[in-house]
Chain A
Amino acid sequence: MYAVNGISFELNKGELLGVVGESGSGKSVTMMSLLKLLPMPPAEIVSGKANFGGHDLLKLDLEKLRKIRGGKIGFIFQDPMTSLNPVLSIGYQLTEPMREHLGMSRSDSRRRAIELLELVGIPMAKNRINDYPHHFSGGMRQRVMIAIALACNPQILIADEPTTALDVTIQAQILEIIKRLREEMGMAIIWITHDLGVVAGMADRVAVMYGGYIVEEAPVKELYANPKHPYTQGLLKTLPNMEGQRAERLESIDGQPPNLYQKPVSCPFAPRCSQSMERCLQENPFLELKNNNHKVACWWNSDSSPDK
Chain B
Amino acid sequence: MTIGTKNILLKVDGLVKHFPITRGIFRKQVGTVKAVDGISFDLKEQETLGLVGESGCGKSTAGRLILQLLQATSGKVFFKEQELTAISRAELRKHRPQMQMIFQDPQDSLNPRMTVGSIISEPMLEHQSLKGKERRVRVEQLLNSVGLDPNVTNRYPHEFSGGQRQRIGIARALSLSPDFIICDEPIAALDVSIQAQVINLLEDLQEEFGLTYLFISHDLSMIRHIADRVAVMYLGRIVELASSQELYSRPVHPYTKALLSAVPLHDPVLEKKRKRTILTGDVPSPADPPSGCHFSTRCPVAENNCFKIAPAFREISSGHSIACHLG
Which residues of chain A have a CB within 8 Å of any CB of chain B?
Answer: 22-23, 137, 139-140, 167-173, 175-176, 194-198, 200-201, 220-221, 224-225, 234-236, 238-243, 246-247, 249-254, 256-257
Contacts and interface: CB of A to CB of B under 8 A. Distances in A.
Contact of A240 (B221, B258, B259, B261): B221
Given A195-B264, A242-B265, 19 more contacts: A139-B282, A168-B220, A169-B54, A172-B262, A176-B278, A197-B271, A198-B264, A201-B265, A224-B268, A234-B193, A239-B221, A239-B266, A242-B220, A242-B224, A243-B270, A246-B224, A247-B225, A250-B225, A256-B164
A239 B192 CA distance: 8
Residue among B221, B245, B262, B268 with most chain A CB within 10 A = B268
B68 interface: no
Contacts of A242: 220-221, 224, 248, 260, 263, 265
Nearest to A224: B268
Contacts, number: 123
Interface in B299-323: none
A167 B54 contact: yes
B262 A168 contact: yes
Contacts of B269: 221, 224-225
A168 B268 contact: no
Interface stretch (B80-88, B108-116, B197-205): B197-205
A239 B218 CA distance: 15
27 contacts: A22-B192, A167-B54, A167-B283, A168-B259, A168-B262, A169-B54, A169-B278, A170-B54, A170-B282, A173-B280, A194-B192, A196-B192, A198-B264, A201-B268, A221-B269, A224-B267, A240-B222, A242-B220, A242-B221, A242-B224, A243-B265, A247-B225, A249-B203, A250-B199, A252-B193, A253-B196, A253-B197
**B contact patch SS:** helix
A168 B218 contact: yes
Contacts of A197: 263-266, 271
Nearest to B199: A250
B97 interface: no
Contacts of B225: 240, 246-247, 250
Interface residues of B, number: 45
Contacts of A225: 269
Nearest to B244: A246
A256 B259 CA distance: 32
Contacts of B278: 169, 172-173, 176
B251 to A, nearest CB: 12
A198 B221 CA distance: 14
B161 A256 contact: yes
A170 B282 CA distance: 7
Contacts of A250: 196, 199-200, 225
Contacts of A243: 248, 265, 270
A241 B221 contact: yes
Contact of B161 (A234, A249, A252, A257): A257
